[in-house]
Amino acid sequence: MSKDSKDPLAAFRKFGQSPFKQISTTATPDQMAGDPHHYSAYGLGERSQERLEIRSLLAPWHAPSYHYLLDIVFNGNFGTETILTFSFLVVKIEGKNLQAVNVAIREGVCTYIQDYDKREFTPPAEGEPVITKIEAVMRKEERI
């Protein structure tokens, strides 16, 4: 569509808009969790979950079943890297303070994980888990 002055809806069309939500540059981490821009690296369920939702900001989301989770590799108390190995998918997670995320996934109560982008979310509080990168790679079938 062109930006024609005869177009009565031209003022409402969003040409060249970023895929990110526009949040205030003065957003602070002390905002309540009910804020739609509040960042949480992971969610917790009350009981063991069927699926883990993997939310990548600019990539397709995955929701594999915990039944296919074969292994969890993480760098101990450093809390900066985690690898989830499913029978058909490998998910590499990078960030900081990921210890609580790792525990939630190990116990099967983590409902989702999501990466952080300052253009999308308010900044997390100091010491909170932050996922800076999620990389999901489908495993290829091996032919014998």
pLDDT tens readout for residues 92-131: 999 999 999 999 999 999 999 999 999 888 888 899 999 9
Asked if residue 120 is part of any domain, the answer here is: yes
Which residue is associated with the tokens 């290829």?
A: 140
Query: What single DSSP character describes residue 57?
Result: T
Residue 122: inside a domain, yes or no? yes
- Look at 15 and 47; give whichever has higher pLDDT: 47
**Looking at the domain assignment, is residue 33 inside a domain?**
no
Full domain range(s) for residue 106: 44-138
Q: Would 84 be classed as within a structural domain?
A: yes
Specify the number of domains making up the chain: 1
* pLDDT per residue as tens digits for the range 65-79: 999 999 999 998 999
The pLDDT, as a whole number, for residue 1 is 46
Question: DSSP per residue over 126-139, as a string?
Answer: TTS-EEEEEEEEEP
pLDDT in tens, 29-71: 555 556 677 899 999 998 899 999 999 988 899 999 999 999 9
Whether 144 is in a domain gets the answer: no
**Residue 10 in domain:** no
The β-bridge partners of 113 are: 42, 54
What pLDDT does 36 receive?
Answer: 73
**φ and ψ of 82, to 5 deg:** -145, 140
Long-range contacts of 11-20 (CB under 8 A, 24+ apart): 18/119, 19/58, 20/117, 20/119, 20/120
